[in-house]
Amino acid sequence: MMGFGRFRRRAVATAKTDVPGWRRPPIETGRSRLVAIGAGFLLLLTVMGGRLIELTLLRDGEEPRLTTRGLREPIERGDIVDRNGILLATNLKTSSLYANPRRILDAGEAARALAKVFPELDVAEVRARLAPDKSFVWVKRGLTPAEQQSVYRLGIPGLAFQSEYRRVYPHGRLAAHVLGFANVDNEGLAGVEKGLDGLLKPSVRDLTGPLTLSIDLRVQHVLTEELAAAVEAFSALGAAGLVTDIESGEVLAMVSLPDFDPNRPNAGVKDGLFNRATLGIYEMGSTFKTFTLAMALDSGAGSMASRYDATEPMKISRFVINDYHAKRRVLTMPEVYLYSSNIGAAKIALDVGTRRLQGYLRAFGQLDPIRLEIPEVGKPMSPTPTQWREINTVTVAFGHGVAVSPLQLAEGVAAVINGGVRMPSTLVKRPSDAPLAGRRVISADASRDMRYLMYLVVAKGTGSKAAVPGYNVGGKTGTAEKIGIGGYRAKALLSSFVGAFPINAPKYLVLVILDEPHGNAKSQGYATGGWTAAPAAGRVIARIGPLLGLSPGAPLVAEPDRPVLAASAAIGENRAPR
Amino acid sequence: MKRHLTVIGIAVIAGLAFALYNLKYQVHGLEARRDALTQAIAAEYESVRLLKAEWSFLNNPKRLADLAKRHLDLVPLDASRIVSLDDFPRVSRQPSGESSAEPATRDAKTSGTGTKWLVGAHTVPSP
C-alpha cells in the first residue's frame, strides 16, 4: 500500500513540479500533515513506552514504601521508660467531649445532665460556656470509655467527641517528681517532661525509640516505701531521698514526699508538686563535715593523726560553737567525724582557711546550681565572697550558713568517696560504653581515708543504725536546725543520713532526709539523723543491695590506727557490668 | 486483509478496554481492602500501646509486693541468703564413699563442677 503511494507520488511529482502555475493538490498537503502528526504520536508513544519500561523494569518499585505509609499514626509524644524498660509515661487515645452551642437546644438542661455524668463540673459554669453563639467549645477532655458511654446515653444533640492522645503515667505517684507531667495539649510542664521536652517531640522520638531514664523503678519503689514509713513513724512534714550510682552519677531513685499523681497533678496536696530532692535547699548540718574533712585531708591542712582540742566550747566573735555529742577532750581527726564534733570541724576549717575552703566547696559543686535534666533545680544559698567572714567558714564546716539541695549534697559526697572524681548527676541512662567524664576534686588517697571515716561512723559512731548485715555501709548523719523567724528553731530539725555501700569499693549512694521529724518511743524520743534517717537508709540498703545484684562482703575489720579499706579503688577499676 | 486487520484491531481494543476496566476495579477493591487493613493495623497498634500501658500498670512494684504477700510464701532476698563458693568447705575430690555422705561435701562437689545456680543472682564479683 505504502509502496504504491510513494511510487505514485513520485511519478506525479516528476511530471508536474516544474510546470509553472501548478499548485499542490490538497490531498498532498493532507498526507504530509498526516505524516507529521503520525511522527509526533510515534515520538510520544516511544517516550511513554520508554517510561513504562523504566518504571516497571529498571526502577525499584515504590510499593514497599506505599504499603507502610499511614500505618502508624504519628505519635504525639515519645514514651518514657525506666532503665530496665518499664513503661513510665505513654500516650493513649482518649475521647474529648466538645459541644456545638448553636445546636444545643437548652443549655441549662444540657449542663445539668452533664453534671450528673461529671460531678466535678460546675453547672452554672458549663451553662455559661454552652450559651454563646459559637460553634465549638470544649466541655471535658480525656474521657474514659465508660464516661463516653454515659454521655452518649444522655442523647443531647450538639455534643460530639474528638479522639485525642492523652499522657498517661501507669505508675501514678511512683517517680512523679522525676517525670513531672504534661498538660492536655501534650506540652511538658514539669520534671523530665519539661526538661527534655525537645527530645520527646515526635519528629525526634520516631527515630530513636523511647527515652530511657536512669531511674530503676524497683529501687524507686523501695525508697518511696521506706521514706513514707519514716515520715509516718516520726510524723515528719516531708522527706527527700536519693539513690545514685557513685561511679556514673546516674540517679537510680529520687523521691520527694509528699508527692503527687502526674495523671492528676492538680488534685493532690499543694505541697506535693514541690521537689524537695532537687528544688528544696537546706542547711544540711553535720553531713557537710564530710566536705570539711575531705578538704583538710586533701590539702594537707590535717591528717588522720591530727588532734583537735574540743574540751571547751569555741568562741568566735559573738558566737559560741558547742558539740551535740560533747566529749570534752582532745579528739583525733577520725573522732571529730565519728562523734560529729562541731568544735573539731570548725578548727579543721580554720586550718584549711577561708579561701581554700571556698575553692573546695565550689569544686564539690556546693556553691553553684547543679545541672540536671529537670527544670526544678534549686539555687544554693551561700554568703557572697565579700560577705564571707570567719564565722561563715566556721559554721560552714558543720553545715550551717550554706544551703544546698539534697542532690547537690549527694553529688559532692559521691565525689569524695568514689576516688575523688566528681561525676555530673543525670536522670538519663548512660550508654554502658560511654566514657565517664568527671573532674578530679580530691586525691585518691584522701578519698580512701574518707571512706574509712564513713565506715567508722556506721561501725562505731552516730550512724550505727544504718548498719546492714552483709553489706558494709559507710555514711554520715546530720541534724540541722531549720531557720525560723528570728533564728534557728531547736525543735524544727532536718535530720539526714548520707551513706554508701559497699564502702570499701562504693557502688551506690543513699541519701535520706527527713523534714521536721519528731522523736517517738522507738527512737527514745530522739529526732536526730542517727535515730530517724539512718535506720531508714539502712532498710533501703538491705532491700536494694540484693536487687542491684551486689554480693555481700565479709565484715571489714576496723582499726582506728590503720585503715583497712581497699586501697584507692579509683573510678573505672571497680566498674561492674550492669 | 484490511477488514481482518480492522476486526482484529477492534477486538484487541475491546479486550484491552475490558482488561483495563477490570484491572481498575480490582485496584479499587484492593485499595479499599488496604485502607481497611491500614485502619485495622492502626487500631491494633493502639491496642498494643494500651496493653503495654496496662502491663506496666499491672507490674507496679507496690501491687506485685501486695500480691506476693497475699499469695506466695516467698520473702525478699536478704544478704544472709547469698553465699559464694568460698563459703563452702574445701574437700578433696577423691571418690571415697564416706565423704560423699556429708551434705557439705555434696554441695561443694556440685559447685566444683561449675554449677552456678547458687550465685545466679550475682552480676558483680564480690569485692
Top pLDDT among B115 and A75 is at A75
In a domain? residue B34: yes
| pLDDT over 50 (residue A441) | yes
In a domain? residue A296: yes
Residues of A with CB under 8 A from a CB of B: 67, 70-73, 86-88, 90-93, 168, 170-172, 174, 217-218, 221-222, 225, 468-471, 502, 504-505, 507, 542-543, 545-547, 549-553, 566, 574, 576-578
Collapsing DSSP to helix, strand or coil, A244 comes out as: strand
| Nearest CB to B53; choose among A90, A222, A507 | A90
Number of compact structural domains in chain A: 1
| Nearest CB to A221; choose among B45, B46, B61 | B61
Provide long-range contacts, Cβ within 8 A and 24+ apart, for A443-446: A443/A298, A444/A419, A444/A420, A444/A568, A444/A570, A445/A297, A445/A568, A446/A294, A446/A297, A446/A298, A446/A420
In a domain? residue B27: yes
Of the pLDDT bands very low, low, confident and very high (cuts 50, 70, 90), residue A41 is: very high
| pLDDT over 60 (residue A13) | no
The whole-number pLDDT of residue A356 equals 92
Chain B residues inside the 8 Å CB shell of A568:
none
Integer Cα distance of A517 and A10 in angstroms: 120
In a domain? residue A32: no
Size of interface A-B (CB pairs under 8 A): 98
In a domain? residue A530: yes
Domain identity same for B11 and B61: yes
Write the CB contacts of A573 (distance below 8 Å, at least 6 apart in sequence). Answer: none
Chain B residues inside the 8 Å CB shell of A505:
127
Q: From A450, A455, A479, select the one nearest A468 (Cα to Cα).
A: A455
Instruction: Give the type of residue at A306.
Output: S
Task: Look at A551 and B124 and tell me if their CB atoms are within 8 Å.
Answer: yes
Q: State how far residue B3 is from chain A, nearest Cα, in angstroms.
A: 14
Q: State how far residue B127 is from chain A, nearest Cα, in angstroms.
A: 7
The whole-number pLDDT of residue A205 equals 53
Integer Cα distance of A90 and A77 in angstroms: 8
Can you tell me the mean pLDDT for B77-95?
A: 75
Best of B51, B54, B78 to disrupt the A interface (most A CBs within 10 Å) is B78
| Nearest CB to B52; choose among A72, A87, A507 | A87
Q: State how far residue A93 is from chain B, nearest Cα, in angstroms.
A: 8
Chain B residues inside the 8 Å CB shell of A504:
127
Of the pLDDT bands very low, low, confident and very high (cuts 50, 70, 90), residue A14 is: low
Q: What angle do CA B93, B96, B101 make, to 5 degrees?
A: 95
In a domain? residue A185: no
| Nearest CB to A504; choose among B56, B57, B127 | B127
Collapsing DSSP to helix, strand or coil, A141 comes out as: strand
The whole-number pLDDT of residue B42 equals 83
Task: Look at A168 and B77 and tell me if their CB atoms are within 8 Å.
Answer: no
In a domain? residue A41: no
Domain identity same for B9 and B51: yes
Give the other-Cβ count within 10 Å of A445's Cβ.
15
Integer Cα distance of A122 and A130 in angstroms: 12
Give the other-Cβ count within 10 Å of A387's Cβ.
8
Task: Look at B52 and A549 and tell me if their CB atoms are within 8 Å.
Answer: no
Of the pLDDT bands very low, low, confident and very high (cuts 50, 70, 90), residue A524 is: confident
Chain B's closest residue to A578, CA to CA, is B123
Q: From B127, B61, B66, select the one nearest A215 (Cα to Cα).
A: B61
Q: At what angle do helices A217-233 and A529-547 cross, to 10 degrees?
A: 160
| pLDDT over 50 (residue A564) | no
Q: State how far residue B97 is from chain A, nearest Cα, in angstroms.
A: 34
In a domain? residue B41: yes
In a domain? residue A572: no
Percent of chain A with pLDDT over 70: 88
Number of compact structural domains in chain B: 2
pLDDT tens readout for residues A316-344? 877 888 887 777 888 889 889 988 899 99
The whole-number pLDDT of residue A387 equals 85
pLDDT tens readout for residues A229-273? 999 999 999 999 999 999 999 999 999 989 999 988 887 777 889
pLDDT tens readout for residues B58-85? 999 999 989 999 999 888 787 778 877 7
pLDDT tens readout for residues A57-116? 777 766 666 666 555 555 678 889 999 999 999 888 888 888 888 888 888 888 888 888
Can you tell me the mean pLDDT for A462-487?
A: 86
Task: Look at B79 and A574 and tell me if their CB atoms are within 8 Å.
Answer: no
The whole-number pLDDT of residue A80 equals 92
Q: Identify the bridge partners of residue A496 per DSSP, sorted by sequence position.
A: A478, A513
The whole-number pLDDT of residue B82 equals 80
| pLDDT over 60 (residue A204) | no
Of the pLDDT bands very low, low, confident and very high (cuts 50, 70, 90), residue A576 is: very low
Burial (Cβ within 10 Å: 0-12, 13-18, ≥19) of residue A349: buried
Top pLDDT among A25 and A554 is at A25
Range of the domain at A292: 220-547
Domain identity same for B48 and B101: no
Of the pLDDT bands very low, low, confident and very high (cuts 50, 70, 90), residue A490 is: low
| pLDDT over 80 (residue A311) | yes
Best of A87, A219, A247 to disrupt the B interface (most B CBs within 10 Å) is A87
Mean of the per-residue pLDDT values for chain B?
A: 75
Give the other-Cβ count within 10 Å of A147's Cβ.
16
pLDDT tens readout for residues A337-386? 988 899 999 999 999 999 999 999 999 999 999 999 999 999 999 888 88
In a domain? residue B72: no
ipTM of the prediction:
0.72
Residue A240 cell numbers, joined: 527527700
Top pLDDT among B38 and B22 is at B22
The whole-number pLDDT of residue A206 equals 57
Q: Are strands A80-81 and A137-143 parallel, antiparallel or unpaired?
A: unpaired
Q: Decide: A454 and A516 in contact? Cβ < 8 Å.
A: no
Q: Decide: A316 and A391 in contact? Cβ < 8 Å.
A: yes
Of the pLDDT bands very low, low, confident and very high (cuts 50, 70, 90), residue B105 is: very low
| Nearest CB to B79; choose among A91, A174, A468 | A468
Task: Look at B122 and A552 and tell me if their CB atoms are within 8 Å.
Answer: no
| pLDDT over 60 (residue A10) | no
In a domain? residue B12: yes
The whole-number pLDDT of residue A75 equals 63
Task: Look at A551 and B122 and tell me if their CB atoms are within 8 Å.
Answer: yes
The whole-number pLDDT of residue A375 equals 93
Helix locations, A353-405, DSSP H: 354-363, 390-397
Chain B's closest residue to A219, CA to CA, is B61
Q: State how far residue A218 is from chain B, nearest Cα, in angstroms.
A: 6
Task: Using the 3D structure, point to which of B67, B90, B105 is the last residue of a domain.
Answer: B67
Q: Decide: A478 and A452 in contact? Cβ < 8 Å.
A: no
Chain A's closest residue to B1, CA to CA, is A1
Can you tell me the mean pLDDT for A272-295?
A: 93
In a domain? residue A404: yes
| Nearest CB to A87; choose among B34, B56, B125 | B56
The whole-number pLDDT of residue A18 equals 64
Task: Look at B84 and A551 and tell me if their CB atoms are within 8 Å.
Answer: yes
Chain A residues inside the 8 Å CB shell of B126:
551-553
| pLDDT over 50 (residue A226) | yes
Chain B residues inside the 8 Å CB shell of A545:
79
In a domain? residue B58: yes
Least confident of A200-209, A325-334, A397-406, B110-119: B110-119
Chain B residues inside the 8 Å CB shell of A550:
124
Chain A's closest residue to B31, CA to CA, is A67
Q: From A370, A459, A359, A362, select the one nearest A411 (Cα to Cα).
A: A370
In a domain? residue B95: yes
| Nearest CB to B78; choose among A225, A502, A542 | A542
Q: Decide: A160 and A98 in contact? Cβ < 8 Å.
A: yes
Of the pLDDT bands very low, low, confident and very high (cuts 50, 70, 90), residue B10 is: very high
Task: Look at B125 and A551 and tell me if their CB atoms are within 8 Å.
Answer: yes
Chain B residues inside the 8 Å CB shell of A556:
none
| pLDDT over 50 (residue A406) | yes
pLDDT tens readout for residues B47-59? 888 899 889 999 9
Least confident of A106-110, A173-177, A293-297: A106-110
The CATH code of the domain that includes A530 is: 3.40.710.10
User: Which residues of A form the catalytic set?
Assistant: 286
Can you tell me the mean pLDDT for A541-569?
A: 67
Of the pLDDT bands very low, low, confident and very high (cuts 50, 70, 90), residue A279 is: very high
DSSP 8-state symbol, A270: G
Chain A's closest residue to B54, CA to CA, is A170
The whole-number pLDDT of residue A470 equals 85
In a domain? residue B124: no
Chain A's closest residue to B118, CA to CA, is A551
Task: Look at B56 and A86 and tell me if their CB atoms are within 8 Å.
Answer: yes
Top pLDDT among A246 and A437 is at A246
Range of the domain at B48: 2-67
